[in-house]
Amino acid sequence: MKGGLIIYERMLERFKQIEKKMQSIERQLKQLPEGKLICSRTGPYYKWECSDGHKKTYIPKKDRSLAEKLAAKKYLSALWNDLNHEKYAIDLYLRRHSNHKSEVDQLLTDSIEVEKLLSPYFLPLSKELEEWMKSPYKTNPKNPEHLTQKIRANEFVRSKSEAMIAKVLKQHKIPYRYEAKLEIGAGEIYPDFTIRHPKTGE
């Protein structure tokens, strides 16, 4: 599940990057001249031509700037097509993923009893760390109504990203406390997660 969640987030981020890049390419293409560059060769010499789809117009060497712009247009159009194919493939993945409810998520969040039976799979390796994680601690008292994301039968966090972090920590047997009080000097804060090294306890 952890791998699937991370892949989904990366795919979603890549999808956004592609959309942004495609929009940038479209703006650049609007600034370039009409026509399509055609390069042909006669012996050791190359010839540049501009095609409008019906006829070709010779581009003299002195008009290299026009040839460069048409070459850029050719490149950007090919890049846009490649990105569009990638975007289509990612969109199919995202649609399939969003319609699929994780069976593991449902199993761990719907039944307290099943979660208890499975606890050996997720508890820290050290008994001391296990007790640290289970022992009561003071949590953030602000806006408890925002604890809406269920990550297991009796544990809630405030956001989907925090839920993903908690699940990853749990699956790697990394002991953590959520929004536990941390005193710094004369003040106190409630970090999202306080974690300890699963082997050293640091």
Q: Which residue has the higher pLDDT, 2 or 47?
A: 47
User: Is pLDDT of 104 > 50?
Assistant: yes
Which residues make beta-bridge pairs with 47?
A: 40
Burial of 42 (0-12, 13-18, 19+ CB in 10 A): exposed
Domain 2-98 of CATH type 1.10.3470? no
Residue in this structure with the two tokens 């390419």, named with its chain if needed: 25
Domain ranges of the chain: 2-98, 121-195
DSSP assignment of 32-94 equals SPSSEEEEEEETTEEEEEEE-SS-EEEE-GGGHHHHHHHHHHHHHHHHHHHHHHHHHHHHHHH
Helix, coil or strand: residue 157: strand
Alpha-carbon gap, residue 12 to 94, rounded angstroms: 7
* Coil, helix or strand at residue 188: strand
Structure tokens at 188: 């106190």
The 10s digit of each residue's pLDDT in 40-57 is 988 888 999 999 999 999
pLDDT at 99 over 60: no
pTM given for the model: 0.53
CA distance 12 to 76: 23
Report the run of H or E that residue 149 belongs to, with start and end. strand 149-152
pLDDT at 154: 72
- Per-residue pLDDT, 108: 64
For the residues 123-128, what does the mean pLDDT come to? 78
The model's confidence at residue 1, banded by pLDDT at 50, 70 and 90, is: very low
pLDDT above 60: residue 79: yes
For the cut 90, the answer to whether the pLDDT of residue 20 exceeds it is yes
Q: What is the mean pLDDT of the chain?
A: 86
What pLDDT does residue 2 have?
A: 45
Give CA–CA dist 38/189, Å, rounded.
65
pLDDT tens column, 135-156: 899 999 999 888 888 877 678 8
Mean pLDDT across 164-188: 87
